[in-house]
Structure 1
Amino acid sequence: MSIDNGERRSLTERVYETLRSEILTARRRPETLLLEHELATEFGVSKTPIREALRLLVHEGWVTVLPRKGYLVRPLRFEDVREIFALRRMIEPTLVVEAIKRSTPAQLDELERIVDAQQAAEDIDAALDQATAFHVGIAKLANNKRAERVLLGLVDEARRMNHLTPALGRRVQEDAEIKDHRELVQAMRAQDIELAHEIMERHSRESLRQKLEGLTQI
């Protein structure tokens, strides 16, 4: 029985989403070798959707090609961490300033609820979901779709770091993290552009310090 294009896309999407999630949550750790035939057996599909899913992950930078060998889950280097947070420091303080100009009280209430959910989360995954929603939510308020997409990719990179080092993951619910998020919302409510910019800068610097410290434990 032949498989139509729609079914093949569905299989590819299932493999892609599963592999991507496993990479982000460190169930497939950096430098893990991925072989098409082994994955095909694991997922119970032909090599075609496996190959297509891996190509998507290569395009996004999560895996690299090893010619005539297979694919490798991309390693995480100190330089990667520095680049990720350098980019975040370039765009997030500017995004929060723009968000202040565009946001409504109701939208800031929603940001506050996200912080409440982050603090109340019962596990690290749930807390990371809310932390992601908070940072990406600010980009949404700034109404910059391209920056939103870039930021989501950077936040996903940070998410993988948190899962690779459990001590880092736990920090997402620590008082200092929650305090920064709450103070940022307060500065946005007060339309204090200088303070909001400063808080976001400080938050990014501290995140970089923590990630570099955590990377030595991987």
Structure 2
Amino acid sequence: MNIPHSKKSDQIARVLTMKIVRGEFRPGEKLGQDQIAREFGVSHVTVREALLHLSAQGLATSLPRRGMCVAPLDRNTVDELRLMRRALEPVALLQSVPKLTAAQISKAETVQAQCDAAETAFAWEEANRMFHMAIIAGCNMPRLTEEINNLQLLHARHFFAKYADRWKPRSEPDHHAIIAAIHDRDAPRADAILRRHLTRLS
């Protein structure tokens, strides 16, 4: 696989991230450096850098005598992810709503429409994640934004593991209500809707 342009280890990490998130690599599966290096046509050093990035995200873990493997996805992990999202996303949204630009609001509306129109679980999850990131784009808190983005990726693993085979197209009324609150620059209302929305995470 030929990867041009930006740092190869970062791009390899992104590809592996989505494979793990979508369940192409199962929890506990070994991430073989030789195989990954051959697949992407890179050195073992580059692969190690990518795997260290996955480890920092919580998607991979080093096991004795096995090397780097896909991180487990147990009930405690899922519960922790839900609690962290409920704690952090409302903070970012409250800061974001008063500062969102017209272009940022337009992007949020676009991905909201993509979410409603999604016909597969993969398309819905990507659009849903983009929506949640779009509505906090005005917070101007890069560390918080990065942490939320990572939490959503980790939670997506649980979503695909549980719902990929039985997901059905649907509209998200809470998304529409959040957009309406954003248009009114009503941060407390948007916050209340998001908090309710996040309590429904399963």
Q: Under TM normalisation by the shorter chain, which class is it?
A: 0.7 to 0.9
Go from structure 1 to structure 2 and tell me whether the alpha carbon gap of 1:68 and 1:188 turns closer, same or farther (over 3 Å shift). Answer: same
Rg (Cα) greater in structure: 1
Superposed CA RMSD: 2.6
Go from structure 1 to structure 2 and tell me whether the alpha carbon gap of 1:204 and 1:168 turns closer, same or farther (over 3 Å shift). Answer: farther
SS, match of residue 85 in structure 1: helix
What is the CA-CA distance between 1:184 and the residue it aligns to? 0.7
Go from structure 1 to structure 2 and tell me whether the alpha carbon gap of 1:189 and 1:45 turns closer, same or farther (over 3 Å shift). Answer: closer
Once residues 198 and 58 of structure 1 are traced to their aligned partners in structure 2, the CA distance between those partners, rounded to angstroms, is 34
Once residues 91 and 127 of structure 2 are traced to their aligned partners in structure 1, the CA distance between those partners, rounded to angstroms, is 21
**Match for residue 120 of structure 1?**
117
What is the CA-CA distance between 1:91 and the residue it aligns to? 1.8
What TM-score do the two structures reach when normalised by structure 2? 0.84
Tell whether 2:83 aligns with 1:86: yes
Once residues 34 and 48 of structure 1 are traced to their aligned partners in structure 2, the CA distance between those partners, rounded to angstroms, is 14
What is the CA-CA distance between 1:206 and the residue it aligns to? 0.2
What is the CA-CA distance between 1:193 and the residue it aligns to? 3.1
Tell whether 2:196 aligns with 1:199: no
Q: Contact conserved, 2:93 with 2:136, CA < 8 A, in 1?
A: yes
Once residues 30 and 123 of structure 1 are traced to their aligned partners in structure 2, the CA distance between those partners, rounded to angstroms, is 23
Give unpaired runs (5+ residues) of structure 2: none
What is the CA-CA distance between 1:98 and the residue it aligns to? 1.9
**Match for residue 184 of structure 1?**
178
Match of 2:137 among 140, 146, 153: 140
Question: What percentage of residue pairs aligned between the two structures are identical?
Answer: 28
What TM-score do the two structures reach when normalised by structure 1? 0.78
Greater fraction helix: 1
Give unpaired runs (5+ residues) of structure 1: 1-5, 211-218
Q: Contact conserved, 2:96 with 2:135, CA < 8 A, in 1?
A: yes
Aligned residues: 198
**Moved >6 Å (runs of 4+):** none
